[in-house]
A and B are shown apart, each in its own frame.
Chain A
C-alpha cells in the first residue's frame, strides 16, 4: 500500500510539473548551433506562429513560402492559428516561451511590447545588417518607420504597406432595379432616403407578390465592444464629422481638436433619424441580434429575388452575391436636408487599410536571429510581398514577361477573387511591402472596389487630411495611458452601445440625452480625449 501511494504521488507530482511549465517551445535541435550557417547547405530550423484567416490553406501548399524559406536557408515549423488568438496569446506571452517568429497583423500589440519587456528582439541592428528590403521600405516610405518605432526608439514589430487599397472600407449601395420599378429618383438627402425606403416597404419592390419580405435598410451588427465598418455611423459624414478607421470608439478629429461623437448633438440627430426609420419598420428588426454571417446571408436572399433595398458593404458582389449584384448601384453620400450647407464627408480609412502594425516579430531568445532576419527580409522583397498578398506566381499571379504582372482569375470559377486570395495566401494578414514602383494589374474584385468608390470620391477628396483625420496608425501610447484609456473605453462603450441600440429600436433619446451625456462623462471620456489630444499635438509638431 505504501509503495502504491508513493508511486501514485510521484505520478501526480510529475503531472503537476508537466502542466506547470508549458510544453512545446524552442527545442530547435539544429546541427549547426552557430548562427550564420545560412546558406552552407545546412538549413536552420526555426519555429513560428502565424495568425491566419480561417479560409487560408495550409502553408505547406504555398509555393512562394517554400521558395522564400529556401532562399533564406531556413526551414520553419509553422503553427497556424485561426481562432481564439486573444485567449492563447496571454498565456503564451506570460509563459515567456515564444517561438522564433510571430506573424500576423497586430497579432502582438504595442501594449504587449511594453507589458512584456525583454521578450521580443529589437530588430534595429539586424535590419541594418541583414534586412536591405526592410531598409528600402523605411527609406521609400518613412511613415512605415514611424509605425515600427516604439516610444523607447526600438523596433520590435515590422509594419506592412499594401498600397492598392481604397480610402474607405464602407461603400453605400441601393437597389437600382427597385428604384426604377417604382419610378423613384435616387435619394440625395436623409428625408428622401426615408421616403424611398418607405416606398420599398409598402409597394412590393421586388415584385414577388409578398408585401412583407422586403428589408428596406440593413447594416452590420454592432456587437458589444466597438463600432465597425458597414454601419450607419458613416452618415455622420453628412453632418461634417469625418470618421477615421471607422472610429470604432467614437473618437474623431475636427479642426485639430480631438472629440468623441457619443456626446455630440450631431450623433443625437443621426440616432433620431434611425429611430424614425426603425419605428416605420424600415430597418431589419434583427439588426442588433443577427451575427455578421446572417447579415450577409439575408442580403443574398434566395439568390433570385433581392431582399435588401439600401445597405453598406465592402464591395457589391461580396455584399449581395454575384446573382443579385447587377441590381445594385453604389451611391454618393447623402446630405442631411436639401438646404444643408455642410460639406459631406465620409469615413476615411486609408491608413488602416493600407498600413498595418506589428506584422512580424522576433523572439529575443531566438538562437538564430540572423537566419530569422534573412527570412523576414525575403518577405519584404517587392515580388515576394506581392505573392504574400495575392498568392503564388503561376497559380494566382501571371508574369507578363516585361516586368509587369497581373492577377489571375480564380482557378475555381465559382469562387470570387476575394475568397480566392484569402484561400491561397496570407493575404492582408501577412508582412509585406508593395512598392509604389511595382507594376501589377489588379483582379476584378479590387477593380470593382475602385469603381464603386467613385461616387464617394468628392467627399473623400474634400477631407482635410491634416486637421480632420486621427492618425492612430502613427501614434504610440505609453503603457500607463493605454491602460487608463482601455478602462475608460470599456465602460463608455458598454453604455454607449446599449443606448445606441435601445434608442434606435425604442426611441427616447430626447428625454434621456442630458442624463446620458453626464454618464458618458463619468466614464472618463474627457480624460481620454485629453490623452489623445496630447499625443496628436505631439505628432503634428513633428510633421
Chain B
C-alpha cells in the first residue's frame, strides 16, 4: 500500500531535483535548464558577498525563531485547556471557534491587521492611545513588526494546530484519570502527571519537524506586511529572492539562494533530531 506514495514522492520530489544544478550554472534559455555554462559556486559567493547578506540572515532567523519559540507552546496549552472543558457542547463550539481563523486567507488577514492597527482609524490603535501608550504605529516600526507578525500568526493557527494534540489526548486511557481522582489528584496535578506525559512523543516529533522550516518564513505574509518603515527588519531571504529572482529574472542566483536556504534548514533538522534521539529516544529516524 505504500507503493503509490513512494511513486508520487519519487516523481514530484526526486525527479525535479535535477533542476538544482541551475544554482551552479548560468541560465541559458536556448540550451534548456541544464545547458548553461558551469559557474560552480559563483552565485553562492555573489550572495554571501552581497551587501544585504548579513541583514537578510539576521532578519530571517529572528522572525523564524520568534515564530517557532512563541507559537510552538501555544497550541499545546490550548489543547490542555480545551481538554479540561467537561461540557460536551461547549467543548465542540470552543474547538470550532478557535480553529476557524486558520481558513482566513493571508491577504485578508493582512488586510485585517491594516484596518485594526491603523493609528488613525484602527480599533487597536485607538485602544493603545487611550491606555496612554502613545502613538505607536504598529504597522510601521522596526520594533513592533516581529511581535505583530508572531502574535497574529499564533491567533490564526493556534486552534488548528491544537487538533493533533487533542487527538493525542483523546487516546489517554480513562482509567488513568479515574485512578488519579481516587488518589486525590487536583486538576492541575492530573494535567501534569497524566496529560503532559501522554503528549510528550507528539510534542517532540512536531518540534523536530518544525525545525526543518526554521529559515522558511512565510513569504506571503512578510511580503504583504512590508513597508518602507519596517524594511530593515522585514526584508527576509524569501522576499529578497522574489525581488531579485522573479522581478529581475535572475534565475540562477535565486536558485542558489534557495538551495542555501534548504541546506541550512536540513542542518537544523538533523541537529534537532540527534538531540532528541540522544535525550529521549523519540526521533524521526
Interface stretch (choices B133-141, B164-172, B259-267)? B133-141
Residues of chain A within 8 A of B114, CB atoms compared: 289, 291
Separation of A86 and B244 alpha carbons in the complex (Å): 12
Separation of A332 and B232 alpha carbons in the complex (Å): 36
Separation of A486 and B7 alpha carbons in the complex (Å): 41
Contact A286 B137 (CB under 8 A): yes
Tell me which of B27, B140, B246 contacts A115 (CB under 8 A). B27
Residues of chain B within 8 A of A221, CB atoms compared: 227-228
Separation of A495 and B135 alpha carbons in the complex (Å): 25
Tell me which of A12, A284, A494 contacts B4 (CB under 8 A). A12
Contact B30 A118 (CB under 8 A): yes
Residues of chain A within 8 A of B7, CB atoms compared: 8-9, 12-13
Contact B243 A490 (CB under 8 A): yes
Separation of A502 and B228 alpha carbons in the complex (Å): 8
Residue of chain B at shortest CB distance from A112: B249
- Per-residue CB contact flags for chain A residues 500-524 toward chain B (1 = under 8 Å, else 0) read 1110010000000000000100111
B242 to chain A, nearest CB (A): 9
Residues of chain B within 8 A of A94, CB atoms compared: 29, 251
Does any Cβ of A come within 8 Å of B195's Cβ? no
Contact A289 B118 (CB under 8 A): yes
Contact A111 B249 (CB under 8 A): yes
Separation of A412 and B1 alpha carbons in the complex (Å): 64
Contact A5 B4 (CB under 8 A): yes
Separation of A418 and B267 alpha carbons in the complex (Å): 56
Tell me which of B11, B231, B250 contacts A497 (CB under 8 A). B231
Contact B29 A86 (CB under 8 A): no
Q: With A87-B246, A483-B250 as given contacts, are A286 and B120 in contact (CB-CB < 8 Å)? A: yes
Contact A498 B232 (CB under 8 A): yes
Q: With A285-B135, A487-B50, A498-B228 as given contacts, are A12 and B29 in contact (CB-CB < 8 Å)? A: no
Does any Cβ of B come within 8 Å of A90's Cβ? yes
Q: Is the interface of A mostly helix, strand, loop or mixed?
A: helix
Q: With A5-B4, A494-B52, A498-B231 as given contacts, are A289 and B140 in contact (CB-CB < 8 Å)? A: yes
Does any Cβ of A come within 8 Å of B108's Cβ? no
Interface stretch (choices A39-47, A222-230, A338-346, A458-466)? A222-230
Residue of chain B at shortest CB distance from A501: B228
Contact B248 A111 (CB under 8 A): yes
Residue of chain B at shortest CB distance from A522: B51
282-334 of chain A: CB within 8 A of chain B: 284-286, 288-291
Tell me which of A86, A495, A497 contacts B246 (CB under 8 A). A86
Residue of chain B at shortest CB distance from A117: B30
A89 to chain B, nearest CB (A): 9
Residues of chain B within 8 A of A274, CB atoms compared: none
101-129 of chain A: CB within 8 A of chain B: 111-112, 115-119
Residues of chain A within 8 A of B226, CB atoms compared: 224
Does any Cβ of A come within 8 Å of B247's Cβ? yes
Does any Cβ of A come within 8 Å of B229's Cβ? yes
Number of interface residues of B (CB under 8 A): 39
Q: With A117-B29, A286-B137 as given contacts, are A223 and B240 in contact (CB-CB < 8 Å)? A: no
Does any Cβ of A come within 8 Å of B12's Cβ? yes
Q: With A285-B135, A491-B50 as given contacts, are A90 and B27 in contact (CB-CB < 8 Å)? A: no
Q: With A9-B4, A12-B8, A487-B250 as given contacts, are A289 and B29 in contact (CB-CB < 8 Å)? A: no
Contact A501 B30 (CB under 8 A): no
8-37 of chain B: CB within 8 A of chain A: 8, 11-12, 27, 29-30
Does any Cβ of B come within 8 Å of A414's Cβ? no
Contact A494 B235 (CB under 8 A): yes
Separation of A285 and B138 alpha carbons in the complex (Å): 12
- Per-residue CB contact flags for chain A residues 32-61 toward chain B (1 = under 8 Å, else 0) read 000000000000000000000000000000
Does any Cβ of B come within 8 Å of A16's Cβ? yes
Contact B51 A523 (CB under 8 A): yes
Separation of A94 and B235 alpha carbons in the complex (Å): 27
Separation of A299 and B226 alpha carbons in the complex (Å): 23
Residue of chain A at shortest CB distance from B230: A498
Residues of chain B within 8 A of A522, CB atoms compared: 51
Contact A225 B243 (CB under 8 A): yes
Residues of chain A within 8 A of B50, CB atoms compared: 487, 491
9 inter-chain pairs at a CB distance below 8 angstroms, sorted by A residue, are A119-B29, A289-B114, A483-B250, A487-B46, A494-B52, A494-B231, A497-B228, A498-B231, A522-B51
**B residues touching A (Cβ–Cβ < 8 Å)?**
3-4, 7-8, 11-12, 27, 29-30, 46, 50-52, 114, 118-120, 135, 137, 139-140, 142, 226-229, 231-232, 235, 240, 243-244, 246-251, 253
**A residues touching B (Cβ–Cβ < 8 Å)?**
5, 8-9, 12-13, 16, 86-87, 90, 93-94, 96, 111-112, 115-119, 221-225, 284-286, 288-291, 482-483, 486-487, 490-491, 494-495, 497-498, 500-502, 505, 519, 522-524
Other contacts beyond A288-B228, A498-B229: 10, CB < 8 A: A12-B4, A16-B12, A115-B27, A223-B228, A225-B247, A286-B119, A490-B240, A490-B248, A498-B231, A522-B51
